[in-house]
Amino acid sequence: MLVSLNWLKQYVDIDGIAAEELAEKITRSGIEVDAVIDRSKGMTNVVVGHVVSKEKHPDADKLNVCQVEVGEGDIRQIICGAPNVAAGQKVIVALPGARLPGGVKIKKAKMRGQESNGMICSLQELGVEGRVVPKKYAEGIYVLPEDTVPGSDALELIGLRDTVLELGLTPNRSDALSMLGVAYEVAAILSKEVKLPEIAYNTISEKAEDYIKVRVEAKENPLYAAKVVKNVKIAESPLWLQQYLMAAGVRPHNNVVDITNYILMEYGQPLHAFDYDALKTNEILVRLASEGETIVTLDDQERTLKAHNLVITNGQEPVAIAGVMGGANSEVTTDTTTVVIEAAYFDGFSVRRTSKELGLRSDSSARFEKGVDPNRVLIAGERAAQLLAELAGGEVLEGTVAVDDLDKSPARVVVSPDFINNRLGMKISLEEMLSILNRLQFDVEAANGLLIIDAPTRRQDIKIEEDIVEEIARLYGYDEIPMTLPEGNEQIGGLTPYQEKRRIARNVMEGAGLLQAVTYSLTSDELAQKFTLKAEDTTRLLMPMSEERSTLRQSLLPHLVEAASYNIARKADSVALYEIGSVFLGKTEEELPFEEEHLALIVSGKWVDHAWQGEKLSVDFFIAKGIIESLFEKLGLTDRVSFEKASVDGLHPGQTAAILLDGEKVGLIGGLHPTERKRYDLKETFVAELNLNAVLAAQVEELVYVSVPRFPAITRDIALELDRSKPAGEIIEIIRNAGTKLLKEVKVFDVYEGDKMEAGKKSVAFSLTYFDPERTLTDEEVVSAHNKVLKALTEAGAELR
């Protein structure tokens, strides 16, 4: 909502208050002023000129040489290129030395050899937005009324010596979608009175009801009133009206349309003007559209209607879409003489739905949607009749033809001052409360310790006690509220075990050198199921904004791979990222997907790079695996985790494993498939992803101290020749199972494949540690235990080297 202060002054006294100060007061008490716009924009030396003569420029087809009187007897030659300039016009002239918006400075100049002492201006050149400039002047200079005086201040005349407040209105304050609504608000803030427009006009003896009948067949339209005005002369509106409309961001058209728009802005009540003769039937019937019915709207678009759309008809065909837009068939044109003014109350929900469906948002629909003031509908119709008489020479017929079932009673709220003070944590006196409510022009009575309040119907947002709390608080001042902390806390607060462990998981990842990434949950259909062990049904948006963000992910990895690629493309020689986030799998009984929190990581490029020491190491599978193992170790789950060869779309078939916790699959780890590496322009890249919900839910035993060993451990090494494909993990399993309880640890300390081995074979060396916490082991005991291991290995077909 754009509020011209010149206009606002018509309703409330704001003299003596600077615009900035007023804006601050309005903002602090409830309506945010987004901008304070000085319409003069620092312009100077802009005056009214009288074009005395116009001749073609001798050397330029599109230019005219004009003699312009810019003050009594002060005639100057000005070159003008506007197509609509003509002798006899009163125009706006920027004199040499003038400053215009956008840093334009006017100087004396020669244009193709002809002297030019200023510039004849369009409104756009004076900083008026092109979309509000009357169409007639949109492509050229603006022409002023004939009776304007050359040399006088043109800015004053066209209303640019004005300041406009741009209000950022929240949906509850639709009352401020009108100049009067803003006036009430400002009056409450400044403790002033509101001056309402005086409505008085003469009527002729003919009766409106003899011209038109109104019928309503839809509950969405509880009030429909029609007034009829004859002998209207369609013309341009007076300058003051045009100025106000332009300041409010509305383009002037002609006096009839402008009057309806003016009242829309003044009262917040949308009106519509029909050409009476074009209606043809002397009847208005409001009803729901029949499915598929069509209407050509004012913007010359054919609209197909649905059965729930409310339409105004002439009893036969639609002539307007209620509250949204008029029909072309009944439009006011330059030939119109008799006008029917519609002042109606349309149901907000219905208008909202219709305007949304048709993609037609207008100043009118915006107001109906939020609910107009029931008590202003008929007044607005009267105001229109008055202005049509005053400004368009119309003759108003007697009476209003109306169907009126609208409840216009105010909302009653009963609240105790204690409730208000308790809710605020304050001690505001009853007198102060009454004073505030009076300033707001709420009808209030204090009785039996209660405030009985009838809120004016323009304030549709006032319904309950809490609304009164807010009114009191905002006008009393939020700065006055003290600062306290909630009392009586019985809760200790803290993180859940899951939340604590998740933070620990972050620490482990970061301690391992990974940066935390956050990527988007929405991805493409194609990527949604990539890098998963098992694809589930996907969740897709009803109306995605792009295919790229259309479906919820089932793995964090596709976006992490993209992030790695992004970094490598920007010359990073190493990327190490992790992310914790939700994935979306299948569907629950509640129609929502299962949301699982995952942890994923990616390492790519160099891992170790100690340049001057000559140490460089690229990432490999075991770096990724080591990080995952560190996490399991931190969580006390090492002994419950195993890795099992697996196949995952997008990962290297020979370097991919499923991660199992207590035998259940909880994640995957692997190298990026060479074709994927090529696609994303990545070198060695390894990834892992875990179902964090499952991993962090695993319960571990309480931590209990184990005594530090007092007796020495004894180690024995074994080297085995194995098939290249034989996993070392299986051998460790055999050793563990065969070793007695004396065997405490099995470690791989060497893996060799190469020249010295037979093709298809490898050598793996293990170090076994035997230990008894209670005593020093004897040689015989160790040999006996170790022999059991060797026997088991031989039985399993392993070849000792």
Partner 1 sequence: MEQQLKQLEQEALAKLQAASNLKELNDVRVAYLGKKGPITDLLKGMGKLSPEERPKMGALVNTVRENVTAQLEEKVAVLEEQAIYEQLEKESIDLTLPGRKVRQGNRHPLTRVIEEIEDLFVSMGYEIAEGPEVEKDYYNFEALNLPKGHPARDMQDTFYITEETLLRTHTSPVQARTMELKKGEPIRIICPGKVFRRDNDDATHSHQFMQIEGLVIGENIRMSDLKGTLDALAKKMFGDDREIRLRPSFFPFTEPSVEMDISCFKCGGNGCNVCKHTGWIEILGAGMVHPNVLEMAGYDSKKVSGFAFGIGAERIAMLKYGVDDIRHFYTNDSRFLSQFHRTER
Give the contact letters, 596-615, x = binds to partner 1 (CB under 8 A), - = no. Answer: -----------x--x-xx--
- Measured from the CB atom, is 384 or 564 closer to partner 1? 564
Burial class, 595, CB count within 10 angstroms (exposed 0-12 / middle 13-18 / buried 19+): middle
> Please, what is the minimum distance in Å from the beta carbon of residue 87 to partner 1?
48
- Measured from the CB atom, is 226 or 672 closer to partner 1? 672
Residue ranges in 490-519 that form contacts with partner 1 under rule CB under 8 A = 490-496, 499, 503, 506, 509-519
- Measured from the CB atom, is 566 or 749 closer to partner 1? 566
Q: How many whole angstroms separate alpha carbon 393 and alpha carbon 201?
A: 12
- Measured from the CB atom, is 369 or 395 closer to partner 1? 369
Nearest to 1 by CA among 37, 50, 51: 37
- Measured from the CB atom, is 219 or 791 closer to partner 1? 219
Say whether residue 625 binds partner 1 (CB under 8 A). Answer: no
Q: How many whole angstroms separate alpha carbon 394 and alpha carbon 232?
A: 4
Give the contact letters, 26-65, x = binds to partner 1 (CB under 8 A), - = no. Answer: -xxxxxx---------------------------------
> Please, what is the minimum distance in Å from the beta carbon of residue 604 to partner 1?
11
Q: How many whole angstroms separate alpha carbon 9 and alpha carbon 12?
A: 5
- The token pair at 124 is 């756009």
Say whether residue 755 binds partner 1 (CB under 8 A). Answer: no
- Would the annotation count 125 as a binding residue? no
Say whether residue 369 binds partner 1 (CB under 8 A). Answer: yes
- The token pair at 734 is 């055999």
- Would the annotation count 467 as a binding residue? yes
Say whether residue 581 binds partner 1 (CB under 8 A). Answer: yes
Cβ neighbors of 120 (< 8 A, separation 6 or more) are 49, 51, 66, 68, 78, 80, 82, 85, 91, 92, 93, 141
Residue ranges in 340-359 that form contacts with partner 1 under rule CB under 8 A = 348-349, 352-353
DSSP, collapsed to helix, strand or coil, labels residue 710 as coil
What Å distances lie between residue 390 and 208, 339, 438, CA to CA? Answer: 19, 14, 35
Q: Which segments within 611-754 are labelled E, that is strand? A: 615-618, 641-645, 651-661, 664-672, 685-691, 714-723, 743-752
Say whether residue 685 binds partner 1 (CB under 8 A). Answer: no
> Please, what is the minimum distance in Å from the beta carbon of residue 356 to partner 1?
9
Say whether residue 593 binds partner 1 (CB under 8 A). Answer: yes
Residue ranges in 521-580 that form contacts with partner 1 under rule CB under 8 A = 521-522, 539-545, 549, 552, 563, 566-567, 570, 572, 575-578
> Please, what is the minimum distance in Å from the beta carbon of residue 369 to partner 1?
6
Given a contact cutoff of 8 angstroms between Cβ atoms, the answer to whether 687 and 561 are in contact is yes
- The token pair at 406 is 């609208």
Pairing of strands 223-230, 339-345: antiparallel
Among 87, 104, 196, 592, the residue binding partner 1 under the rule CB under 8 A is 592
- Integer-rounded Cα Rg, in Å, for the chain is 41
> 496-505 — which CB contacts under 8 Å span 24+ positions?
497/696, 498/696, 498/697, 501/635, 501/696, 502/580, 502/597, 502/692, 502/696, 504/634, 504/635, 505/580, 505/599, 505/631, 505/634, 505/635, 505/692, 505/696
- The token pair at 216 is 């309503």
By rule CB under 8 A, what count of residues binds partner 1? 93
- Measured from the CB atom, is 377 or 514 closer to partner 1? 514
Q: Which residues pair with 505 in a beta bridge?
A: none
Residue ranges in 463-492 that form contacts with partner 1 under rule CB under 8 A = 464, 466-467, 469-470, 473-474, 478-479, 481-492
- Measured from the CB atom, is 587 or 665 closer to partner 1? 587
- Would the annotation count 461 as a binding residue? yes
> Please, what is the minimum distance in Å from the beta carbon of residue 275 to partner 1?
32
- Measured from the CB atom, is 56 or 356 closer to partner 1? 356
- Measured from the CB atom, is 481 or 751 closer to partner 1? 481
Residue ranges in 148-207 that form contacts with partner 1 under rule CB under 8 A = 170-173
> Please, what is the minimum distance in Å from the beta carbon of residue 348 to partner 1?
7
- Would the annotation count 153 as a binding residue? no
> Please, what is the minimum distance in Å from the beta carbon of residue 306 to partner 1?
16
φ, ψ dihedrals at 140, nearest 5°: -155, -155
- Measured from the CB atom, is 64 or 178 closer to partner 1? 178
Cβ neighbors of 689 (< 8 A, separation 6 or more) are 531, 555, 556, 557, 598, 599, 600, 601, 667, 668, 669
> What is the 8-class DSSP label of residue 540?
B
> Please, what is the minimum distance in Å from the beta carbon of residue 254 to partner 1?
32
> What is the 8-class DSSP label of residue 102?
G
Residue ranges in 421-450 that form contacts with partner 1 under rule CB under 8 A = 422-426
Q: Which residues fall in the annotated binding site for Mg(2+)?
A: 461, 467, 470-471
Q: Which residues fall in the annotated binding site?
A: 461, 467, 470-471
